[in-house]
Amino acid sequence: MAGKPMKPVLQRPPGYTDPNLQAKPAPRPLPTKALLPPSFEPRKRRSRHCRLCLCCLSLLLIIAILLMIIAGGLFYLWFDPKLPVFHLQSFKFSAFNITKRSDGTYLTAKMVARIEVRNPNENIIYHFGESKVETTAGDDEVNLGSTTLPEFTQGKKNTTSLEIETSVNNELIEDGIGSKILDQFTSKKLKVDMDVKTSIGIGVEGVKTGLLGVEVVCGGVTLKETSTEMPRCIISTLKWIIIR
């Protein structure tokens, strides 16, 4: 008996899906990281170290300032420091001539002055650096010359008298000012001012500090007032802080 003929196997068309097969579940999406505001983001360790260093430096600075204040207070209570005292003792002219020429008015003057420096402290020594002295006359501040004084040291409870010589030779001035200061000189109403730029340091128990620049202004005194007690000079530092 002859066998049944075999049916040809049909080829599945492209894209055919067997309905009897179960569909594979779709892959789950990867979890995404939640976006946080910048304030909730973890901070770096480096910023923590910087903050710690800044706090330590601030603390050290505060401690140093407190120690300086305490040391200054103890120094003041123990040594009772006092500033040096300056007085313009005297001044006189050995020459004062006004010459009028065709090309202008000229001043020739020579003056000798004395400034008294007193140290009222019992435990403090003063060190004075090189001093530059400038002298002027009258409200118009006519130049009377300048000079330089060497540095010196002033001991405890000591008084020092500084001799200052200044002069000008044929200094050209305005005609009206020349006549004005000549009349003031003749009537002994001419005012003289002295400006001393120096530096001061202190010495305590063998320890010497640095020098601080100061300016000492003496004057506003007329020739008539030289026989009376001279006023105290004004001490200032940093060009605007008046000490005394």
Which pLDDT belongs to residue 112? 94
Give 76's DSSP letter: H
Q: What is the mean pLDDT of residues 238-244?
A: 64
Q: Token match 């004062």: residue?
A: 96
CA distance 117 to 192: 19
Q: Which two tokens stand for residue 29?
A: 């999406």
Candidates 156, 171, 190, 47; CA nearest to 108 is: 171
Which pLDDT belongs to residue 67? 84
Which pLDDT belongs to residue 17? 65
CA distance 147 to 164: 8
Model confidence at 69: pLDDT above 80:
yes
Model confidence at 14: pLDDT above 80:
no
Which pLDDT belongs to residue 36? 56
Average pLDDT across the chain, whole number: 83
Of residues 123 and 148, more confidently modeled: 148
Lowest mean pLDDT among 14-28, 31-45, 72-86, 106-120: 31-45
Beta strand extents in 37-150 (DSSP E only): 85-101, 104-118, 125-128, 131-137, 142-149
Of residues 237 and 6, more confidently modeled: 237
Confidence tier at 49 by pLDDT (50, 70, 90): confident
Which pLDDT belongs to residue 89? 87
User: pLDDT tens digit string along 97-107?
Assistant: 999 999 999 99
User: C-alpha 55: how far from its chain's center?
Assistant: 27
User: pLDDT tens digit string along 194-240?
Assistant: 999 999 999 987 888 889 999 999 988 887 776 667 778 999 987 66
Model confidence at 9: pLDDT above 70:
no
Candidates 174, 3, 171; CA nearest to 95 is: 171
Which pLDDT belongs to residue 31? 62
Model confidence at 153: pLDDT above 60:
yes
Reduced to 3 states, what is the DSSP secondary structure of residue 23?
A: coil
Which pLDDT belongs to residue 230? 74
CA distance 151 to 200: 10
